[in-house]
Amino acid sequence: MSVNLPTYVMLNGFGIYHLRLAVPRRLRYILNKREIKKSLRTGNRREAIRKARILAGKYQECFDQMTEFDDEIRRLMRDSVMMKEIKLSADIFPDGTISIKNLEMDPNHKQTEKELLDHALKGFMRKRNVRGQIPPLRPAHIEPPAISLKNLIDKYLDAMKKRCDRKTLRGYASHLETILEIIGDVPINQIKRENAREAINTLERVPPNRNKMREYKDLTLAQIVALKPEKVFSMTTVRLHVERAIALFDFAILEQHTKYNPFKDLAPRNNRRPDQERKKFASEDLAALFDPEHFKFDPVRPSRYWVPLIALWSGMRMEEICQLEYDDVKKIDNVWCFDINDNGEKKLKNKAAHRLVPVHSVLIRKGFLQFVETRQGAQLFADLKRANGKLGHHFSKWFARHRKNCGITEPGKTFHSFRHNAATKWKQANIPVTKAAAIMGHTVDGETYGRYGKGFKVDQLKEVVEVLDFKVVAR
């Protein structure tokens, strides 16, 4: 048997019920709103009706109390001979404080009107049997019109142009546009904690790459979520959206558009340890990736041969390898090294990424230095073209296909796994973390090594690099 839905219970596009209650006309000037809208935080019809009836009763009781107070003020003011000279509305708070709103005084009779106002309020307090001194009057705080969510996002992105590159900015814009689509373009002072939680709940049901999927073409986000897609955002993606929203409202606070951040501390927690987010390649994975029958040097596409090998025998990041130039491979103190820098159009992840990484002897035996000599004065891997600001963009897609063709489909195993292979080898060999960090381009925490530690000599780092030994990969 279905339960009739009361008129004050509404179902939004994301399947969550809300209470929507009209404010009595005579009280709208006090509350400064036409209706009350509050999430019931459930998608269950019966539970929503039960919650709504309780909540509606509480609101109606508040309306009745406010009406009684409003009527009393009006009666007292009508009894006064000065009624034509003074207009006001007022609120009384649980602590007994009275807040005066919309007060209009005759500038020619200030003292008389003050006495009249005191008399009216004292009469009201006597009627309510309130003892003691009359609480001090306080003027109502009039909030300026709040900036809309869309305008805030536009202003934030405009400010971020000076702090990040275009690709990063597009990422910010994409995440915040999704938040905007979920919440709607409302004044930001209307976005409460419950709205933020609802937005996060919706994010957890959004499919990735929805704009590229034919089945979602011309559908709104609410309609897509209603289809209950099997594949949805990962927790990492949801957390990134929420972190962007937190940064947006921190900016709004800084710019004095609001006083609080509704998304603060709501980012979903990552229950996995850092070493579980990406997985290293197993021995059989490496054997498949570098199977000599399929993994061969191609002079037309040299990056597909050398980039994975360099990553395996150095732990360097993909983009660091892809953007190498002829001058970045040099001999220092009789040791061949990769000079990782951000000269020209090259970009690095952080300051610690500036470093020297010795070339592993396996790469030298495979003829890497001879290959470098053929690229004098040029980019090492001419087959790579910049896309979305990165030379590794298209290479990344190729490696993903190559990995899957090798039967490696386990989540967490990506090109970044090569760094985990290197780090694991060094950890198992008891290599000091400071030396491993110097090669991998990580910042070392702590005052002693982080702030005051000096760089290692390249021959010291060479010893660490040579620890890497993957017997399943043909030397």
What are 371-405's pLDDT values in tens digits? 999 999 899 999 999 987 889 999 999 999 999 99
8 A C-beta contact, residue 378 and residue 388 = no
Q: Considering the entire predicted model, what is its pTM?
A: 0.55
Q: Look at residue 118 in the predicted model and tell me its pLDDT.
A: 65
Residues 67 and 206 in one domain: no
Among 91, 84, 76, 79, CA closest to 27: 91
Q: What is the 3-state secondary structure (H, E, C) of the chain?
A: CCCCCCCCEEECCCCCEEEEEECCHHHHHHHCCCEEEEECCCCCHHHHHHHHHHHHHHHHHHHHHHHHHHHHHHHHHHCCCCHHHCEEEEEECCCCCEEEEEEECCHHHHHHHHHHHHHHHHHHHHHCCCCCCCCCCEECCCCCCCCEHHHHHHHHHHHHCCCCCHHHHHHHHHHHHHHHHHHCCCEHHHCCHHHHHHHHHHHCCCCCCHHHCHHHCCCCHHHHHHCCCCCCCCHHHHHHHHHHHHHHHHHHHHCCCCCCCCCCCCCCCCCCCHHHHCCCCCHHHHHHHCCCCCCCCCCCCCHHHHHHHHHHCCCCCHHHHHCCEHHHEEEECCEEEEEECCCCCCCCCCHHHCEEEECCHHHHHCCHHHHHHCCCCCECCCCCCCECCECCHHHHHHHHHHHHHCCCCCCCCCCCHHHHHHHHHHHHCCCCHHHHHHHHCCCCCCHHHHHCCCCCCHHHHHHHHCCCCCCCCCC
- Name every residue whose Cβ is closer than 8 Å to that of residue 147 and which is 6 or more positions away in sequence: 155, 187, 188, 252, 257
**Is the same domain home to 102 and 39?**
no
- Kindly state whether residue 127 falls inside one of the protein's structural domains: yes
Q: Which of 13-17, 223-227, 231-235 bottoms out in mean pLDDT, i.e. has the lowest?
A: 13-17
Residues 100 and 236 both lie in one domain: no
Q: Does 322 map to a domain? A: yes
> What's the chain's Rg over C-alpha atoms?
33
Same domain, 287 and 430: yes
Q: Answer whether 351's CB lies under 8 Å from 345's CB.
A: no
Q: Check residue 66 and give its pLDDT.
A: 67
Give 220's pLDDT tier (boundaries 50, 70, 90). Answer: confident
Boundary residue ending a domain (79, 108, 126) = 79
> What is the arithmetic mean of pLDDT over 437-457?
64
- In tens, the pLDDT along 272-315 reads 545 445 689 999 999 999 999 889 999 999 999 999 999 999 99
Residue 394 and residue 318 share a domain: yes
For residue 93, the model assigns a pLDDT of: 56
187 Cα distance to chain centroid: 20
Please check whether residue 391 is in contact with residue 322, taking contact to mean a CB–CB distance below 8 angstroms: yes
Q: Which of 17-26, 81-90, 338-347, 410-419 has the lowest mean pLDDT?
A: 81-90
309 in any annotated domain: yes
- Final residue of a structural domain among 125, 142, 159: 142
In this prediction, residue 238 carries a pLDDT of 92
Range of the domain at 71: 1-79
Q: Are residues 318 and 445 in the same domain?
A: yes
Contact 403, 395 (CB under 8 A): no
Whether the per-residue pLDDT at 2 is higher than 60: the answer is no
What integer pLDDT is reported at residue 206 of this predicted model? 92
* Pair 71, 177 in one domain: no
**303 and 424: one domain?**
yes
CATH code for position 392: 1.10.443.10
Q: Are residues 174 and 58 in the same domain?
A: no
Q: Which CATH number does the domain housing residue 262 bear? A: 1.10.150.130
Asked if 410 and 326 touch (Cβ cutoff 8 Å), the reply is no
Asked which of 150-154, 368-372, 439-443, 471-475 is least confident by mean pLDDT, the reply is: 471-475
Taking residues 212-237, report their average pLDDT: 87
Q: Tell me the sheet residues that pair with 37.
A: 20
Answer with the one of 26, 60, 79 that is the final residue of a domain. 79
**Cα maximum dimension of the chain:** 105
Question: What is the tally of structural domains in the chain?
Answer: 4
My answer on whether 266 and 198 are in the same domain is yes
Residue 393 lies in a domain: yes
Residues 415 and 313 in one domain: yes
Residue 57: the pLDDT is 83
In a domain, 475, yes or no: no
pLDDT score, position 6: 79
- 401 located within any domain: yes
Q: Is residue 472 part of a domain?
A: no
